[in-house]
Amino acid sequence: MKRKYLLLSGFGLVLFSALYFFGQSIPPKKKQSQSTTEQQKTGISFDQILNASKQKLNAVQLERLRRLENAVVRGDIKAQQIAIYHELAHFWRDTARALLPAAYYTAQAAKLENKEKNLTFAAHLFLDNLRGQADAQLKMWMADNARELFEKVLQLNPNDDSAKVGLGSCYMLGNIGSNPMQGILMLREVADRDPENLYAQMMLGIGGVMTGQFDKAIDRFKKVIDRQPDNLEALLNLAEAYEQKGDKSMAIHWYEKTRKLIRNPEIEKELDIRINSLK
């Protein structure tokens, strides 16, 4: 029985729904008349994602979107373009409820603003949802967009370890590099130099689960929990690592520990189902 995916991020606890966020943004499979650099790298382009997303809009929404898109074309002042990109991002997030176009336009604004904080925020809109994305092409597209943003952050601040971890995570989760170990090595460089970097420890734990190295993953997650006992993401990942390892009793133990800290009825229900299935 296929299990639902529970996404926990550093900004809070979210029940991830692929249909809610991505069902509106997966383009139909059809041959494109023109190949772009974006498609060559990821197999998909933003134009495809945008066109598929537009098909879900009503006439009033399409007209509002048309005016915003035309304003971008006419805008020749950077501040004006930034403002319109933010409006487009708000439209896709709040009105159309489609994450990918919203993330894309947030990223476009951040690139023009070229500020470390804004670039980082935009990068995480893509990265933090990578693990919940089942479509391989969309996952690569998201990872590549996040990669570009993290690289811009590092151009502004080469010492930003969080951006280095984010960049390594893009390669690890998005399968966008030629060397499968490229992302892991980036993460290890930060974790070895700074063992207290819990973000790096967390992502290395996730990498361990992905590669079937469950004992190593468990050690990484425990390092996070030792310092942050109420870290829901680490607790849930630890429970899942034990479950995939085949240690049902420890998986139940950590799921129950996570369950006590959660105040979201939907996630509580999902955890109850998970726990009962292991008993």
Do 51 and 182 reside in the same domain of the chain? Answer: yes
Q: Is 179 left (phi over 0), alpha (psi -120 to 50) or beta?
A: beta
- Do 180 and 227 share a structural domain? no
Number of domains the chain is built from: 2
In a domain, 2, yes or no: no
State the pLDDT confidence band at 177, using cuts at 50, 70 and 90: confident
Q: What is the mean pLDDT of the chain?
A: 87
Q: What is the pLDDT of residues 126-163, one digit of tens each?
A: 999 888 888 999 999 999 999 999 999 999 999 999 99
Does the pLDDT at position 124 exceed 80? yes
CA distances from 219 to 10, 94, 117, 194, 208 (A): 20, 40, 31, 16, 10
Do 102 and 167 sit in the same domain of this protein?
yes
Mean pLDDT of the 191-216 span: 96
Do 96 and 17 have their domain in common? yes
Q: Which helix (H) or strand (E) element contains residue 14?
A: strand 12-14
d(CA 185, CA 276): 38
Whether residue 142 is contained in a domain is answered as yes
> pTM of the entire structure?
0.83
Neighbours of 193 (CB within 10 A): 11
* pLDDT for 13: 36
Which residue would you say has higher pLDDT here, 119 or 17?
119
In a domain, 32, yes or no: no
Q: What pLDDT is attached to residue 74?
A: 67
Residue 128: CATH number of its domain: 1.25.40
Asked if 179 and 48 sit in the same domain, the reply is yes
Residue 136 within any structural domain of the chain: yes
pLDDT for position 19: 32
pLDDT at 75: 58
**pLDDT at position 178:** 84
Domain co-membership, 84 together with 137: yes
Mean pLDDT across the stretch 51-72? 93
For the stretch 83-87, contacts whose Cβ atoms lie closer than 8 Å and that sit 24 or more positions apart, written own/partner, are 85/109, 85/112
Domain range for 54 is 13-26+41-194
Residue 129 and residue 210 in one domain: no
pLDDT (average), residues 42-47: 88
- Same domain for 95 and 157, yes or no, is yes
Q: Does residue 170 contact residue 141 with C-beta atoms inside 8 Å?
A: no
- 213 and 175, same structural domain? no
Q: What is the pLDDT of residue 132?
A: 82
State pLDDT tens for residues 80-109.
999 999 999 999 999 999 999 999 999 999
Q: Indicate whether 222 and 139 sit together in one domain.
A: no
Say whether both 146 and 94 belong to one domain.
yes
Give 72's pLDDT tier (boundaries 50, 70, 90).
Answer: confident
DSSP 7: E
Q: Are residues 252 and 148 in the same domain?
A: no
Per-residue pLDDT at 268 exceeds 50: yes
Return the structure tokens found at 42: 């990821």
Whether the per-residue pLDDT at 220 is higher than 50: the answer is yes
**In this predicted structure, what is the pLDDT of residue 22?**
42
Q: What confidence score (pLDDT) does residue 137 get?
A: 93
* Domain membership flag for residue 186: yes
Give residue 179's pLDDT band: very low, low, confident or very high (50, 70, 90).
confident
